[in-house]
Amino acid sequence: MLKLSSKTIGKETILHQFHTCREGCARYNLPVNFEVSLENHFDRDTISSLLNAIEDRERHCLLLNPKKMDKGTFSSNFPKAKPHPFVDNAFFYEKEDYEFGKSILYASGAIYIQDAAAMMVAFLLAAKEGETCIDLCAAPGGKTIGYSFFTKEKGAVVSNDLSMPRAKELSSNIERLGLGNVYVTCSPTKDLAKFYGPSFDNIILDAPCSGSAMFRKNDKAKEDWTIEKVRSCASTQKELLENGYKLLKEGGKLIYSTCSFSYEENEENILSFLSLHEDMEILPLPDSPLFFRPEKLKESIYLLPHLFPGEGQYIALLRKKGNREIPPSHKLPKKENSGDMYRLLNDFGVSSPYITSYKGSLYHLPCPLLFPPSTLRCGVKIKESEKEHIPDHALSHFLSSSNSISLSLEEAKAYLKGETVQAKEKDGIYPVSYMNLNLGFAKVVKGVAKNHYPKGLRKTFLEEIAY
């Protein structure tokens, strides 16, 4: 392996070590210099085990939406799925057994498919119910979703991504899961820091990175990796950490993660950040034989694929010293229950003191918080406008199935294709559900449930999963 040192070594030795490195990387079909970069912080045995694990096949895992399905029901219907070692509502599965991504469980928002290592960020943050959070680089949404599940949707979450296409994907996932406490924004983090100031109990910073933990599930990640990319990402990550610091309350926690194995993007960034902020401290993460502790920052952990059953993650948990106070300027004024929108929600079994109009649409705000102009959605969308007679699709996934039209499996598949179904209910607007999982809305007219499932979401095929 190529060793960098202050000692003078011969040209032939350098060339021999360089070619040895190239041969090793080629053996694993990895970028040249990747193996060398690991020597900054991993011992030889760990590097060898990690490289072998990268050649193994990826692991598949899902988060179960606890308000849509309990663990007992899921386990009894899918006995081959195995529980996550830490996250209570997460399960491993094999695609040969269950193609969950093409199932009604997925379409209804009962599950979210996510890497098992990435799930550990929300778990290790261990936030309390009612605390506020901002997820700075959130798309496609897994860490926001995990955080919301962990805190039982009690507390406002601002879920942000700088890319508009990714922010729209994030918004779609939040809608499908039926989360009511999330504000989706598309802003530079420096703008959010100016808008909010130190307002949040928790910061999630899953920083954009060089992506070496994605090698075994994404060949493009291998093709794109260079040491120059590592250094460029490290610079961006430093800026994001600074903006996260500005958003964090005294006494609040910031959890930093990457899907990279590079020292420059991980320990080096955290050590540099701590040296600049005396009021920040690193909190030690729990011990487990599944965690790897880096020598230079043992309070943080790596989730390496030969130790932990996932793709990989680096995680560090930081805290701003001091006591927390809620700045009242960022709370919306309470509104009285009145008007057609409140009556509509009451008809669906929802009681809320907050409804707001934003960009021509009406939103239900279970956890009210001021939101910036770049907001794509604020809570649960009720209607496209006051003139609309059919509620927005997002509301159906937020509601319980208690007042829904219950469909058989064949009827549910027909509904998801955009077809009409028969209904015994009196004329009116109803959510439609399969096995207590809401799929969307329908308008019943003379025994026919007219389909209002969005055209862009309609499925021409759904995997037959016995549930």
Question: 187: which 2 tokens?
Answer: 């802003």
| 288: exposed, middle or buried (Cβ count in 10 Å: 0-12, 13-18, 19+) | middle
Q: Distance between CA 293 and CA 310 in Å, rounded? A: 17
Q: What is the DSSP string of 83-121?
A: E-SS-TTEEEE-TTT--GGGSHHHHTTSEEE--TTTTHH
Q: Are 260 and 236 in contact (CB under 8 A)?
A: no
Spatial CB neighbours of 354, under 8 Å, sequence gap ≥ 6: 332, 334, 335, 364, 365, 366, 368, 379
Number of H helices, E strands in the chain: 15, 21
| 122: exposed, middle or buried (Cβ count in 10 Å: 0-12, 13-18, 19+) | buried
Q: Distance between CA 201 and CA 231 in Å, rounded? A: 30
Q: Distance between CA 42 and CA 461 in Å, rounded? A: 46
Q: Helix/strand/coil (H, E, C) string of 309-345?
A: CCCCEEEEEEEECCCCCCCHHHCCCCCCCCHHHHHHH
| Alpha helices, H only, 153-255 | 164-177, 189-196, 219-224, 227-247
Handedness of CA 223, 226, 228, 229 (dihedral sign): positive
Any idea which residue has 């040209």 for tokens? Answer: 11
Assess whether 209 carries a catalytic annotation: no
Strand partners, 385: none
Catalytic position from the list 133, 259, 367, 378: 259
Residue 19, φ and ψ in degrees, nearest 5: -70, -35
Q: If you count them, how many residues does the chain have? A: 467
Give Dmax (Cα) for the chain. 89
Q: How far is CA 238 from CA 189, 223, 353, in A?
A: 12, 25, 40
Strand partners, 421: 449
Q: Which residues are catalytic?
A: 259
